[in-house]
Structure 1
Amino acid sequence: MRTTPPVIAASAAVALALGLTGCAANGGGDDADAVTITLATWRTEDTAMWEEEVIPAFEASHPGIHVEYAPVDTNDYNAAIQSQLEGGTGPDLIMCRPFDVNRQWISKGYFDDLSDLDAISSFDDTALTAWAGDDGAPYCVPVASVLAGFYYNKAIFDELGLEVPTTQQEFIDVLDAIKEDGTYAPLALGSADGWQLAYNMLYQVGPNYWKGEEGRLGLIDGSQKLTDPAFVEGFTVFDSFSDYLPSGFESISYEDMTQLFSLGKAAILPDGSWQISQINTSGLDVGVFGAPPANEGDTRYQQEMADMAIGLNADSEKKEAATEFLEWLGTSEFQQLYVNKLPGFFSMGKEPVTYDDPLAQEFAGLKEGAELTSRLALDRLSAGQPPLDDEIWRVAQLMYNTGMTPEEATAELQAGLDSWYVPAQ
C-alpha cells in the first residue's frame, strides 16, 4: 500500500491544524491557542453524527480543543493505521478493534496504558477485557457494544396466539405452531452466510449450555474442549433450529433474511441490534427477546459483543488534550448522547442510560438479569491457522446444509484448534 511520506504528511497536518484554528478564530471564538487532535476510526457511516453532534458537544465543554474525525474504510483500517503509526504520522486517538487485533497493537507499543485514567472506573472488568493487554491493563476506553437477539413480529404472534418463550422448549413449541399454521416462515434464517449462523444463532443459543464466559474462558485456558458435553449440547440446540427454515434456505443471504422479515413473511428474525434502524423502517410492530435458557429459573446468558473503544497513541504530541477527550468518553453525557444518535449500539458503562428508541430500550433490557458473554471464538482462539471463528462459520453451514452432526462438528473444530493453539502460550 502506498503511504504519504512522513515529512509531507506532517506538513499537511500542521497546515490543517492551523487552518482549523484560523477558521475557528474567524468565527468569533478566542481560541488562537487551540489544539487540534485527530480521531481515527473505521466508522465512515457515522461521520455526520460525530461531526455534527458528538464532537460539538465535547468542544462546547472543552474550549481550546478541536477534534478532527478521520474515518478510514473498515476494510483498509487496520493496515492504514499500522502504516501511519509505524511511519510516525499516526492519529492522536485510535478507535480500537476488540480482542486479538488490539492485543497485537498493544504488544507493538502503539497505545498508552490508561490505568490511571479516571474514565476507566466507569466500566467494569467485563467491559474492559476486550481491550486489555496481556498484562491485564486497560489500553482503550469502551465506547459501545452490540447485542444479539430474536426480533419477532407482534402481529403474527397475536394472530396465532403465541407468547414470547421463556424456555428452550417453549421456543420450539412456538416454532412448531408457526410451522403448522403454514402462513409464515417460522424463522427468517438462511445458511448462505456462515458468519450470521455463528453470530446470530450459535453464539446466541449456545452460551445457555456452555455457561457463557465459563465455557469461553475454559477454551482459552485449556480447561475445556469443544468436544465436552456442554459444547456438544450447545451445538445440538443450534442444530434443532434447522427444522424451521424457509424453503431454499441454502441460498438465502443475510440481506434476504432481513427482507423476508420486513415484508411480514417470517415471524422471527435472529439478528443483531445494529439492525434496529432498518427494522424500524419496515413499519411492523416488532419486539425482541433473548435466547431462553433450557429450564425455567436457569441462568440466562446474553451475547454482548464489545464493538469499539478509543485509545491514546503512545507517540502523540498532544496527550493532554487527547486525555481530556478520553475522560469525557467515560461520562454519562457522552454515553447518553452516543447511544441515542446511533440506535442499536449500547453503552458499556456502569451507570444506566435511557434509550429514546423503544426497540433499542427493549434490546437493552435483555441485559437485565442475564450473564453477559462475548462471541465464543474471537479472543485468542482465532489468532492462528485455522482461525476457530472462521471454522465455526464453515461447520455451521455444513450442519444446516449437509447434516453434519453436532458431534462431528465439535470434533472437527477441536482438532483444528489443537493443531496450533497451546493455552500455555
Structure 2
Amino acid sequence: MQTVKKALALATLSSAVLLALAGGNAQAGTLTIESWRVDDLALWENVLIPAFQKKNPGVTVKFSPTAPTEYDSTLTARLAGGTAGDLVACRPFDVSLSLYNKGHLEKLDGKAGMESFPASAKVAWQTDDGKDTFCMPIASVMHGFLYNQKIFKELNLQPPKTEAEFLKLLETVKAGGKYTPLVLGTADQWEAHQVLFTGVGPNYWKGEAGRKALIAGKAKFTDPQFLNVWEYEAKLGKYLSKGASAQTYGDSQNMFALGQGAVYAAGSWDIAYFNANASSKLELGVFPPPVPKAGDSCYISDHNDIGMGVNKKSKNKEDAYKFLAWLGSQEFADIYTNKVTGFFSLSNHLISVKDPIAKQMIDWRKSCSSTIRVNSQILNRGTPSMENEMWNVNAQVLNGKMTPKDAATKIQTGFAKWYKPQQ
C-alpha cells in the first residue's frame, strides 16, 4: 500500500511539473500589443491575430489598446515601470523618438520585414541622422478632396486639375445657392492645418524639397512658395459655409454625408465614415489637391501615421520579432489596407485595394510624389509650438481674420526664435 502511495505521489508530482512547464511555455509564447487604436480591437482579435497565428501556431497574441488621449502618458509610464506590452504601436516622429532615446525601444535595422519598406516610409521612426530605425512602418493617411458626384452631375462639373479650375468650380456652386461649395469647419482648427494646408501646400513648396529646405535653413515660411499657400487658402475661405467658424469636424462630416455640400476637404480616414453614414444624396468621388497651373508636377501629403516597435524589456522578443516580420509581409499589407479603409500600407508590396475611393487615392502615388506634413519632423520641438500656431493661423486665414502675409510672418517669427538654422 505504501509503495502504491509513493507511486501515486510521484505521478502527481510529475504531472505538476509537466503542467508548470507547459504553463511556462504558454506564457513565453504570449505577446501583448500596446496601441491607441481602440476602434481596431475587433479587427485585431477577429482578423489580424488569427491570420498571424495560422502561420505561427502556439503564439498567443493580445491586443491591448488605450484611449488615444491617454496613450502617450500611460505608455511612457508602463515602459519606465517595466509593465508595458511586448509590441508598441508607434506614433510618428518626436513622441516615438523620445521613447527610443530613453532606451525603451529596440533598434530594428536589419530585422526581418524591414526590407519591405522604402527609406521614405521609415523617416517617421528614425533618429534625425537616419542611422537608427526603431519602429516598423505600418500605414499612412492621405489628403485630398472628396466630392458629391450627384451634385457635380447636376451642375455639370468636372473634378478640377488646377487651382484656377478649382476656384471656378467653387464659384459655380456658390452662385447656384443650393449647396455649400467647400465643406470645412474651423472651430476645431486642426483640420485647417492638418488636412487643408498640408494637403494643398506640397504642390507649391515641392513636397520633400520644400520641407527639407526649411529644416536646413535654406527656406523661410515667408518665401513665395509658402506664402502662396496661405493666399490660396484665403481664396478657398470664401467658399466655406456661413457658420464655418463655429462648425466642428463632426458638423462637417454630417453636412457632407447629408448631401449638403459639393466638395469636402478630406483625410483618407474619412472614407470609412462616409461609407457607413452617407445618405442617399451622397455619391462619393475624389480628386487630389489641384496643382498651381497646368503642367506642374503634383505632390501629395502621404503622411506616416502608425508604426510598431519592440519593447526593450519584453520577455518574449523571439516571438515579437516573428510578429514584426509578419507585419512586413504582403499578407498583412493586403489585410490592413483593405480592412482599415483609408489607411494605406507603407510597404513596397503591390496591393489590390478593394474600396474604389481608397484605390483612387493610393493610385496617386503612381503619378505624384509623396511627402509628409510639413512641420512633423524636427520643426515642432521648440517654443512657441509650431503645430499649435499652425492650427490657429490657418483657421484665422480661412475665417478672413488674418492676412496670408501675417500668417507667414507669425509662423516664421516663432520658428526663428528657437531654431538656429533659421536665425
| TM-score scaled by length of structure 1 | 0.90
Listed one character per residue, the Cα deviations across residues 233-253 of structure 1 (whole Å, up to 9, x for unaligned) are: 111111110111111221111
Task: Tell me which amino acid in the other structure corresponds to 1:333.
Answer: E
Match of 2:342 in 1: 344
Listed one character per residue, the Cα deviations across residues 363-405 of structure 1 (whole Å, up to 9, x for unaligned) are: 2222221111111112111122211111011111221234311
Q: How many residues align?
A: 400
Residues 199, 300 of structure 2: 8 Å contact kept: yes
SS at match of 1:295: coil
Task: Tell me which amino acid in the other structure corresponds to 2:66.
Answer: V
SS at match of 1:267: strand
Partner Cα separation in structure 2 for residue 424 and residue 58 of structure 1: 48
Partner Cα separation in structure 1 for residue 182 and residue 26 of structure 2: 59
Task: Tell me which amino acid in the other structure corresponds to 2:38.
Answer: T
Match of 1:163 in 2: 158
Listed one character per residue, the Cα deviations across residues 179-235 of structure 1 (whole Å, up to 9, x for unaligned) are: 111111111122212100111211111111111111111111211110111111111
SS at match of 1:381: coil
Match of 1:231 in 2: 226
Partner Cα separation in structure 1 for residue 225 and residue 204 of structure 2: 6
SS at match of 1:368: helix
Match of 1:131 in 2: 125
Match of 1:364 in 2: 362
SS at match of 2:241: coil
Residues 127, 348 of structure 1: 8 Å contact kept: yes
SS at match of 2:138: strand
Residue of 393, 411, 414 corresponding to 1:413: 411
SS at match of 1:321: helix
How many Å apart are 1:424 and its aligned residue? 9.2
SS at match of 2:136: strand
Partner Cα separation in structure 2 for residue 404 and residue 82 of structure 1: 38
Match of 1:90 in 2: 84
Partner Cα separation in structure 2 for residue 95 and residue 423 of structure 1: 32
Match of 1:246 in 2: 241
Residues 112, 321 of structure 2: 8 Å contact kept: no
Residues 139, 311 of structure 1: 8 Å contact kept: yes
Task: Tell me which amino acid in the other structure corresponds to 1:106.
Answer: Y
Residues 145, 308 of structure 1: 8 Å contact kept: yes
Residues 193, 395 of structure 2: 8 Å contact kept: no
Partner Cα separation in structure 2 for residue 354 and residue 133 of structure 1: 32
Listed one character per residue, the Cα deviations across residues 113-143 of structure 1 (whole Å, up to 9, x for unaligned) are: 1111131111111111000123412111111
Partner Cα separation in structure 1 for residue 379 and residue 28 of structure 2: 45
Listed one character per residue, the Cα deviations across residues 397-416 of structure 1 (whole Å, up to 9, x for unaligned) are: 22123431111111111111
Partner Cα separation in structure 2 for residue 102 and residue 368 of structure 1: 29
SS at match of 2:32: strand
Residue of 257, 261, 286 corresponding to 2:252: 257
Match of 1:3 in 2: none
Residues 327, 333 of structure 2: 8 Å contact kept: yes
Partner Cα separation in structure 2 for residue 260 and residue 32 of structure 1: 51
Superposition map of 1:321-332 within 5 A = 321-332=319-330
How many Å apart are 1:34 and its aligned residue? 6.0
Which range moves more in the overlay, 336-345 or 325-334? 336-345
Q: Does 1:267 align with 2:265?
A: no
Residue of 390, 397, 400 corresponding to 1:399: 397
Partner Cα separation in structure 2 for residue 32 and residue 73 of structure 1: 28
How many Å apart are 1:286 and its aligned residue? 0.7
Residue of 165, 187, 197 corresponding to 2:182: 187
Residues 206, 238 of structure 1: 8 Å contact kept: no
Partner Cα separation in structure 2 for residue 167 and residue 424 of structure 1: 32
Partner Cα separation in structure 2 for residue 163 and residue 33 of structure 1: 59
SS at match of 1:37: strand
Partner Cα separation in structure 1 for residue 377 and residue 129 of structure 2: 15
Which range moves more in the overlay, 120-129 or 184-193? 184-193
Partner Cα separation in structure 1 for residue 137 and residue 266 of structure 2: 23
> Highest Rg: 1 or 2?
2
Please report the RMSD computed on the Cα atoms of aligned residues, expressed in angstroms. 1.9
Superposition map of 1:30-45 within 5 A = 35-45=29-39
Match of 2:15 in 1: none
Partner Cα separation in structure 2 for residue 402 and residue 237 of structure 1: 12
Task: Tell me which amino acid in the other structure corresponds to 1:219.
Answer: L
Residues 416, 422 of structure 2: 8 Å contact kept: no
Match of 1:12 in 2: none
Partner Cα separation in structure 1 for residue 74 and residue 381 of structure 2: 20
Shift in CA distance, 64/298, structure 1 to aligned 2, threshold 3 Å: same
Partner Cα separation in structure 2 for residue 240 and residue 195 of structure 1: 19
Task: Tell me which amino acid in the other structure corresponds to 2:56.
Answer: H
Partner Cα separation in structure 2 for residue 193 and residue 80 of structure 1: 25
Residues 93, 124 of structure 2: 8 Å contact kept: yes
Residue of 185, 190, 202 corresponding to 1:207: 202
Report the identity percentage.
39
Partner Cα separation in structure 2 for residue 191 and residue 350 of structure 1: 36
SS at match of 2:198: helix
Partner Cα separation in structure 1 for residue 269 and residue 249 of structure 2: 13
Which range moves more in the overlay, 399-408 or 237-246? 399-408
Partner Cα separation in structure 2 for residue 216 and residue 272 of structure 1: 20
Residues 245, 399 of structure 2: 8 Å contact kept: yes
Residues 187, 267 of structure 1: 8 Å contact kept: yes
Partner Cα separation in structure 1 for residue 61 and residue 110 of structure 2: 23
Structure 2: gaps of 5 or more residues: 1-18
Match of 2:288 in 1: 290
How many Å apart are 1:357 and its aligned residue? 1.6
Partner Cα separation in structure 2 for residue 177 and residue 398 of structure 1: 25
SS at match of 2:253: helix
Shift in CA distance, 151/138, structure 1 to aligned 2, threshold 3 Å: same
Partner Cα separation in structure 1 for residue 241 and residue 298 of structure 2: 28
Residues 33, 64 of structure 1: 8 Å contact kept: no
Structure 1: gaps of 5 or more residues: 1-17, 26-30
Match of 1:299 in 2: 297
Match of 2:10 in 1: none
Partner Cα separation in structure 1 for residue 89 and residue 307 of structure 2: 6
Partner Cα separation in structure 2 for residue 334 and residue 204 of structure 1: 27
Residues 34, 64 of structure 1: 8 Å contact kept: no
